Structure 1
Amino acid sequence: MHTTVVSCRFLLTSLFIVGCLIPACAQKRMCISIDDLPTVSRVYRTVAGQDSLTDRLLAQLKRHNVPAIGFVVGEKLMSQSQPDSSQLRLLTRWLEAGMELGNHTFAHLGYNTLSAAAYQQDVAGADTLLRPLLQAANRRLRYFRHPYLQRGNTVSKRDSLVRYLASQQYVEAPVSIDNADYLFSAAYDVALLRKDSALASSVGKQYVDYMLACVHYYEAQADSLFRRSIAHVLLTHANTINSQYLGDILARLTAEGYQFVSLHEALQDPAYQSQDDYVRNGGISWLHRWALTQGKRGVFFKGEPDVPAAINALATGQ
């Protein structure tokens, strides 16, 4: 009898420990990456406006304890061929808020339209501006994000870029969750410029729903490829709509069980060591790169959320 009681207690204790560990192991993780810093907006174009946009973005990230990384376009830091102190101050605020900064090239040109040598010069142009800024803050410049997610449309171009970035001690920053937030922000800018608050609110609400739908779609893609949840990297931009609605997206992701992590932590997931043989023209999610490399076709890619036609028309003026 005594042995039976001890065994039962041991079993209950074991079940309790396992029950406590499972949620921790099953915790969903996501890195929030933000492209086109310092800002990209048709509405907030003055120094004061850019300050305001940056304030709101950073406040939302801080509120939700997000260790985000922002990718900087070098030419946005220039004015009349000289570094613009007001733009550099915006980046300093990102660093002071505890965020990381990465290289997004100088001119934000797609790799597929350039020679390998010209693209390397574009990477170096942003590096020259960013590295001293980060060194002054005792930080390192270590991540590179490809404009338009173009990594090379031939094997030789891809391999050339991989070697160059490695030689400059850059880690390539992948994206697992792609989306068209830029179209929603363009539409939102139009609504604000028209002073149509009802339209702006409608665009914003549709945007939040769309972004969650994108997360769910790529979650399913990851589950199909890896039979488990992976640490995701979400692509966003430092634009008008995110300055207003990123917090709503973060709140909903938190409610769905996500923990926000740094890019370094996200990349520890073994999924990011998956083979990537994709060398076509389109810039696509790394999940889709891995899927194509594994021979997935057709039905596997169905169901990606579409931008509503009305949003697209508003954004593009059609």
Structure 2
Amino acid sequence: MRFLLIALLLVSGCVQAQKKIAITIDDLPTVSNYYRTSEQKVQMTHRLLKHLKDHKAPAIGFVIGRLLYSDGQPDKSQLALLTKWLDAGVELGNHTYAHKDINQISSAEYAEDVIKGEQLTKDLVERRGKSFRYFRHPFLRKGPTQAKKDSIEQLLTQRGYREAPVTVDNSDYLFSRAYDNALLQDGKTLAAEVGRQYIAYMTSYIDYYEAQSDSLFGRQIPQTLLLHANAINADYLGQLLTALHRKGYSFVSLDEALKDPAYQSADRYVGKGGISWLHRWALTQGKQGAFFKGEPEVPATINELVQRNP
């Protein structure tokens, strides 16, 4: 009986260890209302990369091209930040030039933003013998009409891109705004409370999308987590990765995650929403209201802090 119990525990541990997650980070080089000087951005980048290194977590970063320019000219300090990501072994992808909303512009203007977003970053990547191959939709929006969606998908295929999906969508950007505001008020105690709530919120989101995966596929698929190169992740990404490890996750590359057949699921969702691919697949399969219940909400205290003027 004792040996049977040990065997069951070992099997249970193996099953839990099979959970995988890919870390994807938007809005490179950095986005923060608090860390704004060149020196602060370097420090912030170093902290983000140290968290990834300490947890042996592969990652891919998506670059907003406009952030690489100053007064219309390439900004050497911003390009140097991208070099740090590449030196750390992080792949880089295209997040457009100006992060425009497909719901608000024409397909032609969106296409122009995609192509312009390749400038500088693509060259930086290809000079290292790497491929510039992944694209992340701003706001996770793919088109409010079938015509727009088809047009953008055709453009991305023509330019050799693969869409970078997100299964674990979340509002880390709101927590980062709240965190920035707390720091700008010199509220270290308040900032620490925002950080505590952030970790609780993100782990509850992981639980939510685990349940969605079970409901849709009957198993745990490799998840793709959306984060941003922001202040709160510079300080708390390590704690988040530790929490994920304790929940049985191993960290894999986006390439590895996308090998799972779940990512070949049909996505026929057309609409203005920027939503998780799990929800896109669920809507395509005809899932309705009850399936989507239980999504975590940003606490009112965080939303209130977002609105404050430091």
Deviates more, 1:110-119 or 1:38-47: 110-119
Aligned residue pairs total 305
Give the alignment of 1:219-298 within 5 angstroms: 219-298=210-289
Distance change >3 Å, CA 181–CA 22, structure 1 → 2: closer
Displacement of 1:140 after TM fit? 1.2
Residue of structure 2 aligned with 1:160, choices 151, 156, 169? 151
**Identity in percent:** 55
Distance change >3 Å, CA 300–CA 142, structure 1 → 2: same
Contact 2:21/2:222 (CA < 8 Å) preserved in 1? yes
TM-align CA RMSD:
1.9
Aligned to 1:84: 75
Give the alignment of 1:61-100 within 5 angstroms: 61-100=52-91
State the SS of the aligned residue for 2:103: helix
In structure 2, C-alpha distance between the alignment counterparts of 1:106 and 1:269, rounded to whole Å: 30
In structure 1, C-alpha distance between the alignment counterparts of 2:38 and 2:240, rounded to whole Å: 27
In structure 2, C-alpha distance between the alignment counterparts of 1:133 and 1:159, rounded to whole Å: 30
Q: TM-score, normalised by structure 2?
A: 0.95
In structure 1, C-alpha distance between the alignment counterparts of 2:13 and 2:182, rounded to whole Å: 46
Displacement of 1:138 after TM fit? 1.9
Matching residue's letter, 1:48: E
In structure 2, C-alpha distance between the alignment counterparts of 1:243 and 1:145, rounded to whole Å: 21
Residue of structure 1 aligned with 2:114, choices 120, 123, 128? 123
Asked if 1:316 corresponds to 2:298, the answer is no
Displacement of 1:178 after TM fit? 0.5
Contact 2:17/2:249 (CA < 8 Å) preserved in 1? no
In structure 1, C-alpha distance between the alignment counterparts of 2:12 and 2:302, rounded to whole Å: 44
- 1:1-28 Cα offsets, whole Å, 9 max, x none, are xxxxxxxxxxx9xx97xx6798269610
Asked if 1:32 corresponds to 2:23, the answer is yes
State the SS of the aligned residue for 2:286: coil
In structure 1, C-alpha distance between the alignment counterparts of 2:139 and 2:203, rounded to whole Å: 21
State the SS of the aligned residue for 2:243: helix
Residue of structure 2 aligned with 1:208, choices 161, 185, 199? 199
Displacement of 1:316 after TM fit? 2.1
Asked if 1:53 corresponds to 2:38, the answer is no
In structure 2, C-alpha distance between the alignment counterparts of 1:185 and 1:66, rounded to whole Å: 21
In structure 1, C-alpha distance between the alignment counterparts of 2:226 and 2:152, rounded to whole Å: 21
In structure 2, C-alpha distance between the alignment counterparts of 1:224 and 1:211, rounded to whole Å: 20
In structure 2, C-alpha distance between the alignment counterparts of 1:103 and 1:54, rounded to whole Å: 18
- 1:270-317 Cα offsets, whole Å, 9 max, x none, are 111111111111110011111111111111111100000010011123
State the SS of the aligned residue for 1:31: strand
State the SS of the aligned residue for 1:101: strand
Contact 2:20/2:257 (CA < 8 Å) preserved in 1? yes
State the SS of the aligned residue for 2:126: helix
Matching residue's letter, 2:179: Y
State the SS of the aligned residue for 1:229: coil
State the SS of the aligned residue for 1:35: strand
Displacement of 1:40 after TM fit? 0.3
Displacement of 1:136 after TM fit? 1.6
Structure 2: gaps spanning 5 or more residues: none
Distance change >3 Å, CA 200–CA 26, structure 1 → 2: closer
In structure 2, C-alpha distance between the alignment counterparts of 1:30 and 1:64, rounded to whole Å: 13
Aligned to 1:8: none
Structure 1: gaps spanning 5 or more residues: 1-11
